[in-house]
Amino acid sequence: MIIVTGAAGFIGSCLIQRLNQDNFNYIIAVDDFSDEQKNKNLDGKKIQERVDREHFFEWLDANYQEVEFCFHIGARTDTTEFNIDIFNKLNLNYSKKIWKKCHDYQIPLVYASSAATYGLGEFGYDDNESLIPQLKPLNPYGESKNDFDIWALKQEEQPFFWAGLKFFNVYGPNEFHKGRMASVIWHTVNQIKNTGEMKLFRSHNDDYKDGEQMRDFIYVKDVVEVCIYLMHHRRNSGIYNLGSGTARTFLDLVKNTFKALDVPENISFIDTPEDIRDKYQYFTEANMSKLQSIGYDKNFTTLEEGVNDYVQNYLVAEKYY
């Protein structure tokens, strides 16, 4: 029995599909299942039971003896949300409770952290655990993720294996429900369909030209491969970066999206919205040596390959993974 929280969401649903491919079908899907658009991510997947996140701990107390692994992917991920109480409830305190239960019941745990913890990158993008208390996230979402990482590292009582994964800019199928928080590729395809062009955020930093802001974009299929690896590995507990290891520009991303659609490039620029302008990361790039040092040796999908697969096989076809 494998638990996946955030099961109906983008990464959680892709993880369930990947587990199903390896015949792990005894899946306990935990989420708030009130969003019918999001629930479509689970159509066709093999799931043993759906458990509402508000009732999950009661369920776990009654069924823990059957649980083999827990993937805690669920979180409030809106970087434009500034109600700290929401993040304290869903990202911090809920995660603490899962950690404690996984310790008490000796369930191995992989949980989702975020590259948002790195803020402007003042201390680089190395997953050095001694630096984590010094990091300066730019918004309450990043703060909530960093607060939990700091808390986890201080705990003497731990699950016998645990890993926190700092997801960088994940893109790929099953994000139809995400709206403003969906990847730039999703927005690009929709804008091209509607207007024939794509508007990118203008740079408000003299060190970067318009469209040359850089992020570490990682394909969701690579993210779930790492999750599967850790489920079997169950050694070397700690916090790990999870990106491609290579920063690319938003122009690279959008140009490849036009190419995948076989549509002539038509790119313009608009001001970055003021509510996120001073919280905007201009560069991220994961140092992936720590994950590789524990034996993970699969190559990460290139941006060109990932965009092409996502656009042609999922967005254009309006299919789920």
Model pLDDT for residues 98-130, shown as the tens digit of each residue:
999 999 999 999 999 999 999 999 999 999 999
Instruction: Report the distance separating Cα 170 and Cα 224, nearest Å.
Output: 11
pLDDT given for residue 4 in this prediction:
98
pLDDT given for residue 294 in this prediction:
98
Q: Is 89 a catalytic residue?
A: no
Spell out the alpha helix ranges (H) of 128-249: 140-154, 184-195, 220-233
Percent of the chain at pLDDT above 70?
98
Residue 11 annotated as lining a ligand binding site: yes
Residue 277 annotated as lining a ligand binding site: no
3-state helix, strand, coil in the chain (%, to 5): 45, 15, 40
Average pLDDT over residues 134-139: 93
128 half-sphere exposure, CB direction, 13 A CA radius? 8
Residue 204 annotated as lining a ligand binding site: yes
Q: Indicate whether 26 pLDDT > 90.
A: yes
Residue 187 annotated as lining a ligand binding site: yes
138 Cβ partners below 8 Å, 6+ apart?
Answer: 116, 119, 120, 278, 279, 280, 281
Average pLDDT over residues 142-151: 95
- 90-94, 142-146, 187-191, 315-319: least confidently modelled range: 90-94
Q: Which pLDDT band, with edges at 50, 70 and 90, does 233 fall under? A: very high
- Which residue from 165, 255, 282 is spatially nearest to 218, judged by alpha carbons? 165
Instruction: Report the distance separating Cα 304 and Cα 129, nearest Å.
Output: 32
- Which residue from 71, 43, 267 is spatially nearest to 176, judged by alpha carbons? 43
Residue 10 annotated as lining a ligand binding site: yes
Flag whether the pTM goes above 0.85.
yes
pLDDT given for residue 147 in this prediction:
95
Average pLDDT over residues 222-250: 98
Q: What is the mean pLDDT of the chain?
A: 94
Q: Indicate whether 79 pLDDT > 80.
A: no
Longest dimension (CA), the chain: 57
Q: At what angle do helices 10-21 and 220-233 cross, to 10 degrees?
A: 60
DSSP output for 85-138: HHHIIIIIIHHHHHHHHHHHTT--EEEEEEGGGGTT-TT-S---GGGGGG---S
Name the catalytic one among 141, 314, 320, 321.
141
Q: Indicate whether 80 pLDDT > 80.
A: no
Name the catalytic one among 100, 178, 199, 259.
178
Residue 24 annotated as lining a ligand binding site: no
Residue 18 annotated as lining a ligand binding site: no
Q: Which pLDDT band, with edges at 50, 70 and 90, does 86 fall under? A: confident
Q: Is 40 a catalytic residue?
A: no
